[in-house]
Amino acid sequence: MRNNEVRLNSGYTMPVFGFGTYSAENDRETTEKAVQMALQMGYRHFDTAKIYGSEPWLGNALRKAISKGVIEREDIFVTSKLWSSDHTDPLSALNQTLLRLGMEYVDLYLVHWPVGLKKWANYPVPNEEDFDEEFDMEATWRGMEKCLQMGLCKSIGVSNFSTAKILSLLNFATVPPAVNQVEMHPMWRQRKLREVCGEHRIHVSAYSPLGGHGNAWGTTAVLDNPIIQSIAFKHNATPAQVALKWGLSKGSSVIVKSFNSRRLKENIGAMDLDLHDQDLLDIEKMEERKVMRGEFLANGTSSPYRNIMELWDDEI
């Protein structure tokens, strides 16, 4: 295992530095170009989801690189996610994902959210009437386990699961989740979730590791924070590098999105940054803003994050 990888409880390794592909402005050309640049810079872990719309473009760029001999399929790690309107049939959903990616398997398949949506709610910002109150997580997880048995994915996991939801899943899971991908950055440190997941050998992967600015729910508060900025200044690094290295220092992988060549390079450069113990202590003292998505909802936007207070019941 290389030092830029983590071993999952499934036995497979995952590169700790992930390339995110969610962007409201996603288009084919920009996404494919960014994936090509990322590959050249050493990114090997690619994160997508049905609902991002980026699966075909990511798949296309990766397949091109494979056919040109730039990389081999075994050298890259591809994650995709089961959208909440497909919870009754993960197997068909994953088969569709594989068709869009043009791949025979994904390395990791995640349940995107612990909420169910009606069949028709095939869009990222559902309405109140789209929520399926009958959602049965146990049946969904059986479907995820079936995907694994069929060899359509190498590992299975979840996303946006609170500690209460992880513990409940472990009560009936034959195969425990390998990963829980959640929002995590210096202003939402997920201390309790990391502790509980650690006890059960579930790897916590950090999405929006810079605070997700540019997204409707995101914020520049992380990168603008004076503590992050002063640590960056001290190390001749950037605030983004400090935020990313903080996530890595907690044993998490980080899934960061940039389609810009300068920032792609800057971000992966975080691997070489050495944060001091005092830097980590200073970050621990930072004010947390873990209800950012709650604030976003309070502004009246309906979304799967609707019941965020319940999702993160044990975190707030």
- List the one residue from 30, 122, 215, 303 that touches ligand NAP (CB under 6 A): 215
Of the pair 68, 181, the CB lying nearest ligand NAP is at 181
Residues in the chain: 316
Per the CB < 8 A criterion, the answer to whether 100 and 73 are in contact is no
Q: Does 107 bind ligand NAP (CB under 6 A)?
A: no
Among 21, 84, 163, 252, binds ligand NAP (CB under 6 A): 21
**Segment contacting ligand NAP (CB under 6 A): 129-137, 204-212, 229-237, 282-290?**
204-212
Question: CB 222 → ligand NAP: shortest distance, Å?
Answer: 8
Q: How far apart are CA 41 and CA 17, in angstroms?
A: 12
Alpha-carbon span 119 to 170, nearest angstrom: 26
52 is an active site residue: yes
Span 35-54, contacts to ligand NAP by CB under 6 A: 47
Residues that contact ligand NAP, how many (by CB under 6 A): 30
Q: How far apart are CA 248 and CA 303, in angstroms?
A: 29
Residue among 188 and 259 whose Cβ is closer to ligand NAP: 259
Distance from C-alpha of 129 to C-alpha of 239, rounded to nearest angstrom = 41
Q: How far apart are CA 316 and CA 313, in angstroms?
A: 6
Beta bridge partners of 182: 206
Instruction: Pick the binder of ligand NAP from 211, 232, 247, 292 (CB under 6 A).
Output: 211
Helix or strand holding residue 255 (H, E): strand 253-256
* Separation between Cα atoms, residue 204 and residue 181, nearest integer Å: 6
Window 129 to 158, contacts with ligand NAP (CB under 6 A): none
**Least Å from the CB of residue 112 to ligand NAP:** 6
Can residue 253 be called a binding residue for ligand NAP (CB under 6 A)? no
**Strand residue runs (E) in 150-212:** 153-159, 179-183, 203-207
Give the SS3 label for residue 289: coil
What is the nearest approach in angstroms of ligand NAP to the Cβ of residue 51? 9
Interactions with ligand NAP, residue window 275-314 (CB under 6 A): none
219 binds ligand NAP (CB under 6 A): no
Q: Which stretch binds ligand NAP (CB under 6 A): 89-97, 123-131, 135-143, 258-266?
A: 258-266
| Per CB under 6 A, 160 contacts ligand NAP | yes
Report the greatest alpha carbon distance in the chain: 53
User: Is residue 97 within the footprint of ligand NAP (CB under 6 A)?
Assistant: no
Say which of 12, 22, 43, 52 is annotated catalytic. 52
Angle at the Cα of 291 (from 259 to 215), degrees rounded to 5? 20
Alpha carbon distance 116, 101 (integer Å)? 24
List the catalytic residues: 52
Contact residues: ligand NAP, CB under 6 A:
20-22, 47, 112, 159-160, 181, 207-215, 218, 223, 238, 240, 255-260, 263, 266-267
